Amino acid sequence: MSAQLIDGKALSQQLLLQIKQEVSALTAQGQAAPCLAVVLVGEDPASQVYVRNKLLQCEAAGIVSIERKMDASTSQAELLQVIDELNQDASVHGILVQLPLPAQIDPQAVINAIDASKDVDGFHPHNMGLLLAGSDEAFIPCTPLGCLLMLKHLELDLAGKHVVVVGRSNIVGKPAALLALQQHCTVTMVHSRSNDIEVLCRQADILIVAVGRPEMVNADWVKPGAVVLDVGINRIERDGKFKLVGDVDFASVAPIASAITPVPGGVGPMTIACLLRNTLQAYQQQNGE
Ligand code: NAD
């Protein structure tokens, strides 16, 4: 392998340490610690793991967390009632509703109901609008924010770089493209209906892949020397064992890329660290800091 490995685990630990220090400085002055409320509806195994990791990281950083577990049969009205309570609770600074939600609940209605000033996932239309407008006050969705921090860590001159984002979801692809544009990159978005995806990907100086298809992007799609950020998390069975792989075929791409994120240990840990960062930002904005 010739590419530099972008160690999301180590970078996220640095970010978590900074957050922990800022939180300790607040509590040392007698202020309350920031508080994140996490709502989990149902028993999706992957969601349970994600929520557990988020709560553990909060604890490690000194952020107070509240977990609201709700039954898989919860109605939309019941969930909206809980969100309303959390919106009204001044001791709660951030609210996260773990997605996906059971079929009877419209996720957009739930996202819209979260007070935008507590929307630490950055999915509320108000925050998406602020991001589009380039405002500093936007809560930026955690996964693309993690990608941006990893690119900044590489100390590349981002201006003029051609960034190709594969995938156009509201939570990863679209905000990743907007962030790249803010950094003066030239941005191409490709998705399931794009033609000639491989040709477009091969033009990328920086390739961000968020699709959800195991190892879809191989070396033929990547320009030698490109930076590759693999957002995908896919659980596959290989040789009778389950393992996590990304959307990028790491084995073939790592020898030709200049830098690449592994899966696991790349974008994933940065996502959680950015959630805590957004929670601290929510606390600071609510306290007029
Ligand atoms: P999504 O299903 O909402 O969106 C997938 C996107 O991929 C769509 O826009 C679709 O147009 C595009 N797509 C589908 N097939 C394609 C193809 N053949 N060619 C090109 N584009 C194609 O998914 P998402 O929520 O954006 O997540 C994408 C992946 O990232 C998943 O594996 C998910 O688990 C992972 N993810 C990881 C993190 C993390 O913290 N690392 C966070 C969020 C999502």
CATH of the domain at 62: 3.40.50.10860
Same structural domain for residues 176 and 263?
Answer: yes
**pLDDT at site 289:** 78
Q: Do 101 and 208 belong together in one domain?
A: no
Tokens of 220: 């033929």
The answer to whether residue 273 is domain-embedded is no
pLDDT at 110: 98
Atom of ligand 1 nearest to the CA of 211: 7
Instruction: In whole angstroms, give the CA distance from residue 176 to residue 90.
Output: 31
- Examine residue 165 and state whether it is found in any structural domain, yes or no: yes
Whether the per-residue pLDDT at 1 is higher than 70: the answer is no
The minimum-distance atom of ligand 1 relative to the CA of 212 is 32
With the CA atoms of 140, 143, 148 and 154 taken in that order, what torsion angle do they form, in degrees rounded to the nearest 10? 150
Distance CA 211, CA 229 (A): 12
Report which of 286, 233, 266, 264 is spatially closest to residue 36, judged by C-alpha positions: 286
**Three-state SS at 37:** strand
Mean pLDDT of all residues in the chain? Answer: 97
Do 283 and 34 meet the contact criterion of CB atoms below 8 Å apart?
yes
Residues framing ligand 1 (Cβ under 6 A): 143, 166-169, 171-173, 190-192, 197, 210-213, 231-234, 267-268, 271
Query: What sign for the dihedral angle of Cα 237, 240, 242, 245?
Result: negative
CA of 30 to the centre of ligand 1 (A): 43
Does a structural domain hold residue 77? Answer: yes
CA–CA distance, 162 with 151 (Å, rounded to integer): 13
Residue type, 80: L
Q: Please give the number of the atom of ligand 1 that sits closest to the Cα of 270.
A: 40
274 lies in some domain: no
Residues 175 and 259 in one domain: yes
- If one residue of 101, 192, 277, 278 were mutated to test the ligand 1 pocket, choosing by the most ligand atoms within 8 A of its CB, it would be 192
- Distance from the alpha carbon of residue 147 to the mean position of ligand 1, in angstroms: 14
| Cα–Cα dist 230/215, whole Å | 10
Number of domains in the chain: 2
Q: How far away, in angstroms, is 231 Cα from ligand 1 center?
A: 8
The reply to whether 107 and 155 lie within a common domain is no
14, part of any domain: no
Distance 65 CA to ligand 1 centre (A): 28
Residue 218 is assigned to a structural domain of this protein: yes
Domain that holds residue 77: 29-117
Q: Are residues 108 and 154 in the same domain?
A: no
Active centre residues (catalytic)? 54, 98, 121
What tens digit of pLDDT does each residue of 12-66 get?
Answer: 999 999 999 999 999 999 999 999 999 999 999 999 999 999 999 999 999 999 9
Specify if 63 maps to a domain: yes
- 201: in domain: yes
The CATH number of whichever domain residue 148 belongs to comes to 3.40.50.720
- Specify whether 154 is located in the same domain as 255: yes
